[in-house]
Structure 1
Amino acid sequence: MKNLLKILSLYSALLFTILLATKCVDSVINNQTASPFLQIYSPIAGDTVQVGSNLINYSAYDYSGGQGLAYYDVVINDGLYERFNQNSDGTNPAIYLNIPSTLLGTMIRYYVVAYNLTGSSNVSSVFNNIYVKDKPPGEPHNLMLTKIGTNAVNLLWEDSSDNETGFEVWRKAGANSSYILLQPVLPANTISTNDYNLSPVIDYFYKVRAVNLSGVSGFTNEVSTSSVLGPWNLQSEAIGATAVILKWNDFAVNELGFRIQRTDPYTGTWGLLNIVPANTTEYTDYNVQASTTYIYRVAYYTSTSHSGWSNQTVITTFYTTELPPSNFKAVKYSYGVIKLTWNDTSYLERGTIIERRDNASGGDFMVIHTTVTDETEYYDSGLTAGVKYYYRARYKLGDRIYTEYTDETDATP
């Protein structure tokens, strides 16, 4: 009997050990194969997206007790895909549905795959029948007004978009009236128009924006018939909250230098800001405060005389300083095409302004495109193969308010 009890006791202990080991093995296997949670909220089947970057709204987390998420793959039409890594602090990154212009006007499908640190994954639903529309156009720049008679003006601006269908010119008669749209809407690629039959005793204000079937751009700067810039063309822009840049035409032939004046923002009285050498056409005022309005004017002087003052330019600094886009890069994409990419570093930006020069001899940078908010790539096409192109970019923060420029980058298509 005692021997039988011993045998039963040993058998029970062995059975318990086997069950415990089996449970542990099952636990390890389950932990290694458990999938993270992933839910996509938008865009979903039947939605419309635009060429460029489209934010994907989602939630995702690893299973309870897991090591955390690693990265996400966004797959378009079972071919194109882009990977987004988990943030270094463990939080979920912003992920985007980045649509190339080759898919404009088509129906696409996409899905997202979330991976955890152990290699397990979860695939979202496949979202079909998503229509790709064009992105809204970039806003035009540097609107200028010139009087061409007692009752007429010319408006001139820079076209920084490549996909507008037209331009709207808006006008108001008097500072306290409302803007109205002038008809007709001007065709794509227009950069100038005249406005006739004006009253010589009314101050008219103008602004311009680009349009297409997907929406409208931001407006240009505002100009008026009372602020015609004349030969000086003195203009100003704010660099965040830390600086104001002045630019003007040097039309004098024998000046010894230029005197720059600025109003005191509290009293409104003019004071000498600086004296700069002959042939200077640009000056940066670093002695400014955030959210403050300044007025500037310039005059040249010779050995015997002092010119009249230039037109006045008014500028208000931004309330904070924002960094420019980071990791700005240019790479050859295909024959005659360069792809520009960057990281979005600002929640306050109203678009990324991209500038290009075509040689290394110090030529001027020119604005070639302004993106909509939150875009992080641009394809510069129609370039000459074998020629090196140089690029820089900065954010637009408001009317004539920008960040500093990125470092220059270059590529050869």
Structure 2
Amino acid sequence: MLSRSSFIVSVLFLCGSLSATNLVYAAEPQYVTLPDQYIITFRDGMTRQQVLTLTRQMTTQHGLRLRHTFKNTIKGFSAAFPPGVAESLRSHPDVIAVEQNGYWYIEGSRSVIQTVDAPTNLLVTAVGDTQLDVTWTDNATTDQGSIVERSTTGIGGTYTQVALMIGANITSYSDTDVVVGQEYCYQVRVGEGPGVLGPFSDPACGSIVDDPPTDPPVAPTGLTATTIDDQRIDLDWVDESDDETGFRIERSTGAGGAFAEIDLTGTNVSNYSDTALDADTEYCYRVAAYNDIGDSAFTADVCATTDSEPPATAPLGAPTGMSATAIGETQIDVTWTDNATEEAGFDIQRSTTGIDGTYTSLGVIAANSTSYSDTTVVADTEYCYRIRAGRGAGDLGEFSASVCATPGTPDPSDPPAAPDGLATTVVSFSRIDIDWNDNSDNEDGFEIERATGAGGAFAQIDVVGSGVTTYQDSTLVAETEYCYRVRAYNSVGDSDYTAEVCATTPEEPVTGECTDPGNHDDLSETWGITQIKADLNTTWQAAQSAGCELTPWFFGLDTGVDSDHDDLNVAEIMGHLAADPGHSGEDGHGHGTHTAGTAAAIDGNDGVTGVAPGASVYGFKVCDDAGSCAIDDIVSGVDEVTARRNANPDQPMVVNMSLGGGANEANDTAVRRAVNAGVTVALSAGNGSLGACLFPADSQNNSPARTGDDLINAQDGSDGDTARINGIITTTSTDTTDSDVNCNFGNPVTVAAPGDNIWSTWLDNGHAFSSGTSMASPHAAGAAILYLHNNPDAAPVDVEQAIVNELDPWTTDETPNADGRLDAETL
């Protein structure tokens, strides 16, 4: 029995933290001065030395607060302390030492250390298929109850209380909240009074094992088929069996057609979505359950017809013929030619920092508009404008060329001064870039003329606006000399021409039919090739062995490419760094060379081969040598690919972007422009174990990875819909066991591919291992090249659908963040 001035403190150690609970006074406490701190060292009943630190806290409600420093884990401890603890604690047989800091004055003379022994011999036994019995030995002498806790995540998992049983000498518990096949682990502790709880027993585990079936399962019933759209029908049925392994789904084309199996589902599944169907076509279905003994009877047949294919959306052509005219000092009129159809309106943007400055939107104007008057201008300030058509968020056309005007500028009295310094840069077999010096401050624009060969007749090919000093001529013929001249003009007249300059386009890369001579090299180093079965693809075999060039072009938007690497067929490199405009596009980091090799390396007897061996590589440097990528540089690189596709609409092109960062609409929009132009895009999901596009949207959204979900209703990606086929292949990463490797997830993810310890090309004609979704994405890009080589007219959505149709289903319990692994065997 405690004295009237004594108190009880119970200390309970849970999941690595200590909490003081059940502070109960036997009578109104006497307010005394306790030590600032004293430490009690004791044995916990299992001969382990423990340390408990007590700290003073004087309030009107609580006389003591506890904190701890345990040398070993302690499950539970209860102590009763009247005033005057030091002398009596020192004399207690279980107390080893008492230390105190500071001065203190209290009265009293006795203390009790109580311990409660843990239960032992814990045993878990299955009783039928609905109950587990737990038994133990009660080692407590004055116990008043028992607590049972359970874990469903293994013996070392998280335990939660499932039973509190009041009474002495309890030694069993029956758990009826169990399911077949689930392991359950238990631990038990007893109590000897309010707050006096002993340590837990050692845990023990058990499970109920399902008996194997002796008969085939009962047939499902109630099969229904619901048309969702032009490519999808959903099935639902009633599961009437409790011993099926799964369900067998068969389909026929049209009533009376021959049925064939299309898929197997797992146990207890009662619905299925059949996708990638033909539009306006009747399909019939039947379903049977199966197990190791055999199959049930099929359901009755049901049929449904897919919707008609929706009409194609007309392209949103960029406005042309842009003109900006100052009207006095307070107005600028902008006019253009509308080249879009079915647009919802035009987004007009303005820059006050020059033609290449930062543009902000002035608002959306009506569809079919061809003019706009800006009355928010001031005199003697240059304003530049650009316009694009749109149908809503995410469906925007390309911008027009920019034009500029300055209010209050008087009409010119003389023709402009002639430009000079005209220079050419050969970019590819179909493109030459020119630039010049603008020596005038009163031109309305520049006229660009071209001749085929020195001495040929010049003809105007384009007109650009005031202040423009560059031009891309991208509709050229290979191995042809072109000559250029430029002059400025205004309302008074034309300047003189620049001096003529000439340049010759190079030979066009050769492509041809591939035939397989066999004798493929050892692939032991490039495990990803065999994991996705690329080595079983006949086109891969031909390209790998014969060295024939594949038709599609591979564009790597990355840190550049080692242009002299023996294992890469580098067609061109180009720098897109605004901070380093003179950079050639050579890789100074290694990342870009590595991803290019994974997609397109030719086996150089170093164990490296790509998924599309020998494909023409175009290395666009949008990230610097430290691996940092600016949004404007990324957009510039993507738009360059889009321009090339527009100039060569029959040339298949695949872009790989093993990069990403926070959500950015400009980045996403550039990717969509490329896809709309016919470029297939492969994106890495990212390595942060975050959501590429979550619902609701938050800071974890990633660009450009989130563009894989084109059902986004808002720019922040907050619709929460799943992805659909849109020509953007977003790739997550797996290792040799098909387990995730710290990769992002979410609706946009299309496919999983090898990304752990990938052996590929590196700087200085070398090779290296690297890991991440950056290494997974070029596997998908290479697979797209294989498909496009044999299907050169396929649109990006067709390429992605073909890849999705061939995904390898998962065989691991740790299902990665995708519907399946890339399978390139039959692409």
Classify the TM-score, shorter chain: 0.3 to 0.5
Higher-RCO chain (CA-CA 8 Å, sequence separation at least 6): 1
| TM-score, normalising length: structure 2 | 0.18
| TM-score, normalising length: structure 1 | 0.32
Larger Rg: 2
